[in-house]
Structure 1
């Protein structure tokens, strides 16, 4: 028995060495290629799309990549990005909210009426807007749970009703200007983060990646499991830090990083934590993947659906506040036009599946940058709104096709 044990020891050591090797850079690359082949493309389409968009628009108009133009792009992206962030929640469940544009328009109108016309303090007016959004989201969830009304129908009815309310409370003038010197308008048009804070925020993600990797390795070692190589985490942290620091440096050549965009990113981080590190987030993915299986496992499907619609409407309402701050007005045109299209397209292009069960909060951030880059580039080329609508619609269609093909590939790979 002793000889057999001695012979087994080198084999175990070699096996452990192979595990450690597979967990290194070569293993990480192999995992990535395997995921791509199986249809799990992750952020790859977004990164490729951004590179192509930047190359095309910079060739046609070099102003596109000018620092100040990118700063303006980030200002514009914050409001639509917030709305798209809410859309991610309902899409994860395989649902949809078509009233997000009208919800944001109504919210901007409520801000104008309460704050400017009625003299209500700004903070109270914003709280009223968010409470109204929560109430509307609760109504959608109630209709979906109680009467099994498809979310497409419920929110389409909501789109018309909210638009009517927006027109009604704005009155015959149809527009309310917000004070240009107010903190809200300065937040939406002027305020920039200090340079030191921008760099600190750019470095933070890389530091958190390394801290998380070290903690994970310590836990695995304490449990007598093979600890993965830190080389992958080091490379990820280094590449991310270099990319973010360069982005901040380039933006600082212009005006800098807007507080408005920083607030949007903060909410993305909060929602990402909720979706990935909490019971609520795990339940969201479970219900989106298979609602009946989730119900049988003890998840309250009705509550999860309700929470998704409430979060979506609240974020759409906050997006309306951001839009009002950016435009310094509340008008009948707020929330109309391509707001719905851009928000839903941003979530889908960023990687959230229309079929439910797959996506992340980062989808809204990545997708809205793609959408606003297209819009900004077409504006610089002085192309008409009709062409902008058609091109954005085509990009959305391509994103859905890619999602469908990836879903089919994952299904066939799973059967194999």
Structure 2
């Protein structure tokens, strides 16, 4: 896929910043409309979809938007959301990993066997499981970079192979129950932020955002570049404070923010910073946008593939461990039901392009919230699970169609 060159992108960004600084809020809204017309939809479709889903289910069952329901949606969305975060990375390269569900089940089963059957500590059991996930991703990378095996083929083989490995590791036990007083179960099911700490966290997040923007303004001004418009930064900071504060107040009516959800949100923020602010992240987008151009510019393409596949399987292992803690057990069905499809669908529905080079870490968060909201809403209104699969498929198809249309619009406008 041919993407805009760095020089073109930089010139466009500078022109956008000058427009906002010159015309203020009117320039910002005009720029927003122009981007929509050129196919730069960002997260807008998924946000609109989430609003429509919320209105629809609330009309059918008011409990859908209760504080308890919101807390449950975030808590149960986190494990697969972490797996979807790894899928975002491979999709940015224009590749796919169909085995993340099987890997998550196999690694969680390994952890359970070490912990319960072998008497190892929780820390050792978790570290071994995560390292196995990393090793699987590294093996995938070698198959791709050294032997040229397509990602679809080796990940499909992994889907079948690690599902069999899950059954082998569990043996005749079938199901292993985790100790109810273990750290993993406590962390995933029962630990929530107190009211005071949650509000302090909201304030800290807002201050960090505003502070980072002020630092950007200082750096760009020192380099004689057009800085972000200060009033707009302050407006966004105020909106962030009010929005997060109101949402925190609402979830605190029930149990508050779970540690599990906060861990997922933390990982999303870290991955977003890594993709947007580091050389590695720029290389990931460059390889996904045009591999040959990236190679000719001096980027170590094989290293990028190696890091991404290793991270994807590592995140699959982490997500599998958290899912095991949330369910308090590991069984032959762990990671083998709809985990693969849900993780991939979450990444795509959240806004990551199947064509590579376009997406965000926040795609995993937005997409899994949409899917978990659909599942929760359908359960509340008493709809059969078969309908959930059909609805999820329809939403996925719609997301891919929107991505294809917006990609065509970007191509015709010369910005993508």
Taking structure 2 as the reference length, what is the TM-score of the superposition?
0.93
**How large is the RMSD of aligned CA atoms in angstroms?**
1.5
Shift of the alpha carbon at 1:201? Answer: 2.5
Partner residue, 1:63 = 63
Within a 5 Å distance, the mapping from 1:281-360 to structure 2 comes to 281-360=281-360
Q: Which residue of 2 aligns with 1:72?
A: 72
3-state SS, counterpart of residue 414 of structure 2: helix
2:153 matched to which residue of 1?
153
1:412 alignment partner in structure 2: 412
Q: Aligned partners of 1:203, 1:408: CA distance in 2, in Å?
A: 41
**What residue in structure 2 maps to residue 263 of structure 1?**
263
Which deviations, in whole Å up to 9, do the C-alpha atoms of 1:118-171 show, x marking residues without a partner? 111100111101110011001111111112111011100000000000000101
Task: Name the CA distance, whole Å, in 1 between partners of 2:139 and 2:182.
Answer: 33
Paired with 1:177 and 1:227, the residues of 2 have a C-alpha distance of 55
- How do 1:16-415 and structure 2 match up within 5 A? 21-22=21-22, 24-225=24-225, 227-414=227-414
Q: Closer, same or farther in 2 for the Cα pair 1:43/1:73, shift >3 Å?
A: same
Distance 1:320 1:122 in 2: 15
C-alpha contact 1:111 1:129 (8 A) present in aligned 2: yes
Distance 1:181 1:404, change over 3 A: same
1:140 is paired with a residue of what secondary structure? Answer: helix
Q: Counterpart of 1:10?
A: none
Q: Radius of gyration: which is bigger?
A: 1
Question: Unpaired segments of 5 or more residues in structure 1?
Answer: 1-17
Indicate conservation of the 8 Å contact 2:349/2:399, yes or no: yes
Q: Secondary structure of 2:330's partner?
A: strand
Higher alpha-carbon deviation: 219-228 or 129-138: 219-228
Deviation at 1:225, TM superposition (A): 4.7
**Count of aligned pairs:** 399
Q: How far apart are residue 218 of structure 1 and its match?
A: 2.5
8 Å CA contact retained: 2:188, 2:322: yes
Are the equivalent residues in 2 in contact too, given 1:338–1:389 (CA < 8 A)?
no
Q: Mark the runs of 5 or more structure 2 residues left unpaired by the alignment.
A: 1-17
DSSP 3-state at the match of 1:176: strand
Contact 1:23-1:228 at 8 Å conserved across structures: no
Separation in 2, partners of 1:166, 1:392: 27
CA gap 1:220/1:166 in 2 versus in 1, 3 angstroms: closer
